[in-house]
Amino acid sequence: MPDLVANPASPDTSAPRPAASGLSASAPRTAAIVNLGCKVNQSEMEAAARLLRQGGVPLVDPARGADLVIVNTCTVTSAADEKSRQAVRRARRANPDARVVVTGCSVQVDPSTYARVDPAARLVDNESKAAILTELEALLALDGPGGPDGPGGAAPHAPLAAALPTLSGVEAASPVDGIADDRASVERTRAFVKVQDGCSFHCTYCIIPRARGAERSLAPEVVLADVRRALVAGHREVVLTGINIGTYDGGWSERGARGSHARSALTLAGLVRRLLEETEVERLRLSSIEVQHVDDELLAAWADGGPRTLPHLHLPLQSGDDGVLRRMGRRYTADQYARAVERARRAIPGLAVHADVIAGFPSEDDAAFERSTAFIRGLDPAGLHVFRYSARPGTPATRMAGQVDERTKKARAAELLALAAEARAAFTRRGLGTATRVLLEQRLPDGRWTGHAEDHVVVAAAPRLGDPADLENAVATVRRDGVDPEDPERATGRILALDPPRRVLRAPLPLLAAG
């Protein structure tokens, strides 16, 4: 039986290594998974949870005692690092005799700290993370990943030319879409399917290239298998995602200008067309994608794929000021971003554009911030995710002049959050009087059901007389006729037609989250 990981996380070869040996030859009687950060990390650990479930190992609350504890860390912000360290300390206090495995971006970037936090823990770097799944399969005497969670013949845990670790971490002010390392993530009504990992754009504020490495893409056949697996599990909506999804190349490419490809085995647009042609996916979205990757080929594929391809794009902006964008190392100007958005809106009727923005980046003075907010207002986005700049050691931005004080960052973030709320409410009002197909996700205390419309607006509607009591995973055609008085960003409507789920969703995995 191999040790849980052959390569402890150690960018610094002088970093001390933990003494424990990871998984031993005996299967654990109970296990716990503690996950920090975004859905990326959550979905990654769901792969381990599925294997444990297949092997008959119950997942328990780590505070109540477990034989095996896996902690998945994140490092996007300093606060995320601290939460990760606290999670490891809590895991050891609650489980003094457990085999504790610590993995994720925070370990990748700073393994020596975790060796001090828990010298008995086993540290797993991102490049070795696939070994957790491989060794769990061997430890639990599983025949491989087919079983109840996947189609025969697919081998999602097979060795790859390069390991495909996932982005880890989330800024507290705003959620980040995520995906599974072992690729299809269970999130009840939707599945996140990873197609790509890594980033070499090296924005000056970002630690992820150091933690994640250069871009790598999954073969289209693997993506197709993962989507089919999600459909078998009952999911009606699939989100294709990656760390820098627009660099998807099918496994091979030649670099072009501004992060593009001169040639590639398969483009993202080509992958989208194959998924639509070769699977029965009902609803398809893209996760966050860089604006320079939204080219005419992708827009044509997305427009041709409607209504299965949904009218919603998340395009990170970060700032509407050219000087700040340049110092961030972003690969576009504000005008280029605006023209790309306009081109996308012409190609995809009713398109909802969501953006990200960072408040308080070094050298962002009052004038730059005013230019940025004016640009965002003119852009008229459907949604805005707001982040406060968080200095990450090892990134160029920490050495820049013009660092913005915390009080100013908080004030600017508050102004942007108010702008974001205005934008979401305005987009919600704009859709009134239209009919849309809503994937119903959860029941409210008042009996109404809510879910996301095709344009990502949350819609609430009451069941009709005779509708099933449980509408989870049904797709309802809803006429949006009002704004919820309890939430100005949520539309209300009447169900006109109901398309019940073709398959019953599997029970959610008992995965615990922290942070």
Cα–Cα distance measured from residue 412 to residue 414, given in angstroms and rounded to the nearest whole number: 5
Cα–Cα separations (whole angstroms), residue 177 to 20, 39, 137: 34, 6, 28
pLDDT per residue as tens digits for the range 322-354 = 999 999 999 999 999 999 999 999 999 999 999
How does residue 59 score in pLDDT terms, banded at 50, 70 and 90? confident
12 pLDDT more than 60: no
The pLDDT, as a whole number, for residue 229 is 84
- Answer for the pair 157, 150: CB distance below 8 angstroms, yes or no: no
Angle 331-274-45 from CA coordinates, rounded to 5°? 70
How does residue 1 score in pLDDT terms, banded at 50, 70 and 90? very low
- Answer for the pair 423, 384: CB distance below 8 angstroms, yes or no: yes
How does residue 175 score in pLDDT terms, banded at 50, 70 and 90? very low
Place of tokens 């004030």: 411
Structure letter (DSSP) for residue 450 = E
Mean model confidence pLDDT for the chain: 82
Q: What is the sign of the dihedral through the CA atoms of 318, 321, 324 and 325?
A: positive
Which letter, b or e, does each residue of 17-49 get, where b requires 16 or more Cβ atoms within 10 Å of its Cβ? ebebebbeeebbebbbbbbbbbbbbbbbbbbbb
How does residue 20 score in pLDDT terms, banded at 50, 70 and 90? very low
Beta-bridged to residue 254, according to DSSP, are: 263
172 pLDDT more than 70: no
The pLDDT, as a whole number, for residue 167 is 22
- For the chain, give every domain's residue range: 154-430, 435-499
222 pLDDT more than 60: yes
Greatest distance between any 2 Cα atoms in the chain: 68
Q: Do strands 435-443 and 512-514 pair parallel, antiparallel, or not at all (unpaired)?
A: unpaired
How does residue 266 score in pLDDT terms, banded at 50, 70 and 90? very high
Cα–Cα distance measured from residue 223 to residue 271, given in angstroms and rounded to the nearest whole number: 9
Place of tokens 């044509």: 300
pLDDT per residue as tens digits for the range 447-460 = 999 999 999 999 99
76 pLDDT more than 80: no
- Answer for the pair 103, 123: CB distance below 8 angstroms, yes or no: yes
The pLDDT, as a whole number, for residue 42 is 62
- Answer for the pair 1, 23: CB distance below 8 angstroms, yes or no: yes
Mean pLDDT of 408-429: 97
How does residue 90 score in pLDDT terms, banded at 50, 70 and 90? very high
184 pLDDT more than 70: no
364 pLDDT more than 90: yes
Beta-bridged to residue 194, according to DSSP, are: 241
The pLDDT, as a whole number, for residue 4 is 39
Please give the CATH superfamily to which domain 154-430 belongs: tm_1862 like domain (3.80.30.20)
The pLDDT, as a whole number, for residue 141 is 66
The pLDDT, as a whole number, for residue 392 is 84
Mean pLDDT of 128-133: 72
Judge if 154-430 and 435-499 fold alike in CATH terms: no
Amino acid at 160: L
113 pLDDT more than 90: yes
The pLDDT, as a whole number, for residue 397 is 95
Fold classification of 435-499 (topology level): OB fold (Dihydrolipoamide Acetyltransferase, E2P) (2.40.50)
